[in-house]
Amino acid sequence: MNVRLTKEQKTTILNSAGIYSVMQQVLLRENKLRRNQEHFWVVGLDSKSKILFIELVSLGAVNIVHVDPPDVFRMAIYKLAVSMILVHNHPSGDLTPSAADLSFTDRMLKVGKLINIEVADHLIISDKGYTSFREHGHMKKLLLSGKYEIDPQMRSMMTKIQVDHAKEEAAHEEKIGIAKKMKKEGYNDEIIMKLTGLKKKEMGMV
């Protein structure tokens, strides 16, 4: 789910304090019940480190959230992000990275390396503070861990998948745009689906 940003929040990120300032506001928008669940966000940045998007990728239980690489990188690929920052909250307030947090970050670093989208940092946040993996040296150590490395043949295949996926996303957005115009002109859903190839569940985006 794409997080709506104010003009002020579409800012250039100079350091981890800058991203925390934005993400703290995003977290505090949630009601108290929702803040007691783990959220996982991806923040996409352009070549000048300006925020392109913030996406809420997953909402989990009190102390666990499940996220897979396609979920993490989908929006970054579509928006042509140069780098990204991973962010999740710990409702307990304990900002210490778990072994699972470190392993997950290692995996995302290697996937990012494979598809040329840098995973610049991972922040664990609460409404009162944060921990930056980069500032604590975790990112550098994980890059050298030797885990989750992929051979050149797989790298080539993944690049092709990345390009194909971006084309599919662009084509889908074009269909949605056409469908919106048709809707405004008074066409009913059945005609729109027939002419654009959209499915019934996709009409909710129109």
Phi-psi sector, 148: left (phi>0), alpha (psi -120 to 50), beta:
left
Q: How many CB atoms lie within 10 A of CB 149?
A: 10
Question: Which pair of structure tokens corresponds to residue 111?
Answer: 């996937």
- Res 54: pLDDT: 94
Dist CA 172 CA 198 (whole Å): 9
Under CATH, to which class is 16-149 assigned?
A: alpha beta
Dist CA 160 CA 114 (whole Å): 11
pLDDT at 60 over 90: no
Average pLDDT over residues 58-87: 85
For 12, counting Cβ atoms within 10 Å of its Cβ (0-12 exposed, 13-18 middle, 19+ buried), the class is exposed
- In the chain, which residue ranges form alpha helices assigned H by DSSP? 16-28, 32-35, 69-78, 99-115, 138-143, 152-184, 189-196
pLDDT at 200 over 90: no
Reference 58, options 84, 88, 103; nearest CA is 88
Question: Which positions ≥6 away from 11 have C-beta within 8 Å?
Answer: 18, 22, 50, 51
pLDDT at 96 over 90: yes
Residue range 9-51, pLDDT digits in tens: 666 777 999 999 999 999 988 877 778 889 999 999 999 999 9
pLDDT at 157 over 70: no
Question: Which pair of structure tokens corresponds to residue 12?
Answer: 């250039």
Residue range 159-179, pLDDT digits in tens: 666 677 777 888 888 899 899
- Write down how long the chain is: 206
Q: What is the rounded radius of gyration, in angstroms, for the C-alpha atoms of the chain?
A: 19
Cα 37–41–43 angle (5° rounding)? 160
Kind of pairing, strands 118-125 and 83-89?
A: parallel
The average confidence (pLDDT) of the chain is 86
